[in-house]
Structure 1
Amino acid sequence: MSYEFLGATPDHWCRVPALVEANWTEEQIIALAIPLSNSSGKREGCLVHNYNYTAAALRGFNLTMSNVSAIRNRGEELIACHSRVYNTSQYKSTIVTEWDLTCERRALYSTTQAMTQAGTFFGSICYGHVLHRFGRRKGVLFACALSALIGFLITAAPNIETYIFLKFLFSAVEFGCYIGCFIIAMEVSSVSQRTYVGSFYPVPWSLGYMILPGIAYLVRPWRWLQAAFSLPLLFTVFYYWMLPESPRWLILKGKYNKALELLKRAAAINRTSLPSHHAIIKAMENIKHKEDTSRMKHRFGGSVADMVKSVMRYMFLLLVTPEVRVRTLVVFCLWSISTSIYFGVSLSSYNLRYNQKNRVLTLIIHVFLKNQFQGDYNLDAEMAESRSRLHQMADCRSEGVQRRAKSPTQATANSRALAPYSCALG
């Protein structure tokens, strides 16, 4: 939720150049030029009184306030302004204050978060194939390195367009870190352990979520705050020595000896013994043969045209297979609804901050829906092992756990991309 701090919107009001040049104080400018909102009782942030401020600057504050009608222009009582002044007492700088993302430019503010979720959607589609072709470990290492690089590049964004583009790229590759590690964790776990592994997997994410406001409190300028958020990514360099490849991927690629080495290392750590090498290699060959046989039945080849046909076949199966259709529609609907509520509440939580009951309700919604998210991840991953692999995503080359893990993300990314605009509308 760095969006809430990097894009925080402090109190603001219209800039009146004529009065600023006349050395009026902020209090004097607000008292004369900025009207009160009828709905909130606060000063308007996008409207200003339709006065002749050049004449007001010449007359002075006291004389002007004694006879305001003398400087009133004909026409509308209130008019829109095109530049603002921001209260920097709480936030020294944010992307909103730097690029003036309020009023008529508010859509750009929502677009920053929408493009972040669009990047997640793009990454969920593309990165599964990267993890399959090059391996889970290499895919994760590449994604983590690129995430760190882009994270620090964001701090140097010269304009809002570049910032949005970099956030899109960051979300796309950062998804590779998350889902790649999740797939490895699930594939190295036994069936009985996957529920526990999947449940504890987001714990570091939750801890980071709790620490994030404290970091934002200590680091106020948004560029330095972005650098602080990107700094932990440098520690992923230790993945190079600590992160193993998925034995399942090695087996399906025919790299039996490397898979056997990993199994030996796991057996040593768990203080258990393995069957004979011949028996293990034979079992690996059987697993690969079964997977290859299933895969050949449901793919055409390796060309781009074949990939497109495979995708269309998958979508067609969703429409004509009753059991798959019902389950898919239920999962997509649940994910979309839950995500809309979760991110809608998260992104508009500033509207609830003055009501203690609303804050408690917000916390309950966060806890309940976040647990549901991870539960659905676990359920989808478990279903991938118990159901046939006829309905592979993309080019039918991603294994079941990988496919099921990224499918909910594609469902939620659409809702998450629309949530900021929903909040902006009210």
Structure 2
Amino acid sequence: CHAFAQVFLAAKTDHWCYVPELEKYEDECNLNNSVTFCQDIIKNQSIPSVKSSSQCGSGLVYSNCERYENLSYSMKTMKCNHGWKYDRSQYRSTVFQEFDLVCDRYYLGALSSSAYMAGLFIGSVGFGALSDKIGRLPALMLSALCMAIPGTACAFSPNIQAYSIFRVFVGASHMGMFMVSFVLATELVGPSKRMFVGAVREYYFAFGYMLLALLAYFIRYWWILQLCLSLPATIYLLYWWIIPESPRWLISMGKHDKAVAIIRKCAEVNKVTVPTCVYEELAEMAGDVKETHAGSYLDLLRLPNMRKKSLKLFYIWFTISLVYYGLSLNTSNLGGNDYLNAFVSGAVEVPAYTLSIFLPESPFGRRWSLALVLILAGVSCIFTLITPV
């Protein structure tokens, strides 16, 4: 939900200069006419027309950033000096409206989106290393707190700067929860089940995307929507008593006794018998503690073969993220219903994740499967350029 909440939290709406001198006339007009009709009358008297900057139109539209300097005697224009009025027919309140992210302040809207992406970067580096140091479960709990507290603070931000700072923490928590839970889930199963578990958990990312569209449809005030997305993260704190720590991590840290206890509990819950030799081997490992080398990001670039593969994967992941978030964060620009666009964008991921379970094990293998879907995505994006409107 948080990944694409900005689509609705900071939705851009039509806006024009607020002219207090005409407010009483608009109120009188609204008594006998529709709001849209009265707004058009007021705009015609106070707002100059400019050429449309939209690629889909070349006619005249009302200016968003200028008004007539003198309503009675002059056609000279000036910048909005009393703020703006917004079209609230669809969105009752957005960050865009709350902090006047229009005209000379337009770039600040992009800043809050960039802040979230910066948080993703910080979270991917920080929580990954942290989970290796303090454990998967503690890192997951810290991610939950980082989502709940700064996420809630976002709803009460006094200005766009504070909102953007809190979004950095929310972005970091998003990546922390996403990545740490992925590692924990795959480490709790055997090698034959890792791909299945890794793919199935992605369904819930798609479900969250669809849930966001439904919540945004019924909640038209941005700060209420932000609270509804952030407060439930506190439920994750209950996982401390539900989800076990990764036995693999415990073994790597030399905490064999705790790993054995978790393995016994898992065997009891799943009604299976663990061979005695497993426990004997762990006991031997506990008695023969060896100093292990702590891996680092530099290990991915140290050897020529690993460096070549890592750089390729870095580029692939960079490209996927750029295109994926670029498309998803612009669903409101597709035209039509914003909520339906977002819901469909989440829904189409379900068959994609299903395909990812079986395609790598097909005759194509992993490399060709990856290449084929990336080529398909690239060709599809190119065809959108020549698709008739």
What TM-score bracket applies, with the shorter chain setting the length?
A: 0.7 to 0.9
Letter in 1 for 2:315: C
* Distance in 2 (alpha carbons) for counterparts of 1:364 and 1:222: 21
Task: From the superposition, tell whether residues 370 and 125 of structure 1 become closer, same or farther in structure 2 (CA, over 3 Å).
Answer: farther
Structure-2 change in CA distance of 1:42 and 1:150 (3 Å): farther
Map of 2:305 onto structure 1: 323
1:210-231 CA-to-partner distances (Å, cap 9, x unmatched) read: 1111111111111111111113
2:51 corresponds to: 37
The alignment's TM-score, normalised by the length of structure 1, stands at: 0.70
The unaligned stretches of length 5 or more in structure 1 are 57-69, 299-309, 380-426
Is contact 1:9-1:96 (8 Å) kept?
yes
Amino acid at match of 2:75: R
Partner of 1:48: 66
d(CA) in 1 for partners of 2:201 and 2:350? 17
- Kept in 2: contact 1:36–1:44 (CA 8 A): yes
Residue of structure 2 equivalent to 1:14: 17
Structure 1 window deviating more from structure 2 (18-27 vs 116-125): it is 18-27
Separation in 2, partners of 1:178, 1:120: 10
Structure-2 separation of matches of 1:364 and 1:135: 31
Letter in 2 for 1:347: L
- Tell me the distance in 1 between the aligned counterparts of 2:164 and 2:284: 47
Distance (Å, rounded) in 1 between the aligned partners of 2:329 and 2:172: 20
CA deviation profile, 1:195-250 (whole Å, cap 9, x unmatched)? 10001011122111111111111111111111111132122132021111000111
Does the alignment pair 1:342 with 2:324?
yes
> Compared with structure 1, are the counterparts of its residues 284 and 314 closer, same or farther at alpha carbon in structure 2 (3 Å cutoff)?
same
Q: Within 2, Cα distance between the matches of 1:226 and 1:71? A: 45
**Is the CA contact (8 Å cut-off) linking 1:252 and 1:291 kept in structure 2?**
no
What is the rounded CA distance, in whole Å, between the counterparts of 1:197 and 1:215 in structure 2? 28
Question: Which digits, 9 at most, give the CA deviation of each residue in 1:105-132, with x for residues without a partner?
Answer: 1111011111101011011111122212
- Indicate the residue corresponding to 2:261 in structure 1: 261
Q: RMSD of aligned C-alpha atoms?
A: 3.4
Q: Deviations over 1:149-181 (max 9, x none)?
A: 222121111111111101101221332222111
Provide TM-score, normalisation by structure 2.
0.76
Q: Matches of 1:31 and 1:192 in 2, distance apart?
A: 68
For 2:6, the aligned partner's letter is Y
For the residue of structure 2 that corresponds to 1:100, the secondary structure is coil
- CA 1:229–1:129 in 2, change beyond 3 Å: closer, same or farther? same
Return the alpha-carbon distance in structure 1 between the equivalents of residues 182 and 60 of structure 2. Answer: 47
Instruction: Determine the C-alpha separation between the residues in 2 that align with 1:158 and 1:374.
Output: 43
Is the 2:301–2:307 contact (alpha carbons within 8 Å) kept by the matching residues of 1?
no
Q: For residues 350 and 151 of structure 2, what CA distance do their matches in structure 1 show?
A: 30
- What residue is the counterpart of 2:80 in the other structure? 81
- 1:193 partner SS: helix
Deviation at 1:284, TM superposition (A): 6.3
Distance 2:78 2:62 in 1: 11
Q: What is the correspondence of 1:156-195 to structure 2 with a 5 Å cutoff? A: 156-195=156-195
Aligned-residue identity in percent:
28
Whether the aligned pair in 2 keeps the contact of 1:35 and 1:48 (CA below 8 Å) is no
Structure 1 residue 98 displacement after superposition: 0.5
The Cα shift of 1:92 comes to 1.0
Q: Distance in 2 between matches of 1:369 and 1:269?
A: 32
Given that 1:151 and 1:230 are in contact with CA atoms closer than 8 Å, whether structure 2 keeps it comes out as: yes
CA–CA distance in structure 2, aligned partners of residues 190 and 248 of structure 1: 11
Counterpart code for 1:28:
I
Q: Say if 1:374 and 1:140 are closer, same or farther in 2 by CA, change over 3 A.
A: farther
Please report how far the alpha carbon of residue 21 of structure 1 lies from its aligned counterpart in structure 2 after TM superposition: 6.8
Q: Following TM superposition, by how much is the alpha carbon of 1:366 offset from its aligned partner in structure 2, in angstroms?
A: 6.3
Q: What's the CA shift for 1:371? A: 4.5
Aligned partners of 2:67 and 2:78 also within 8 Å = yes
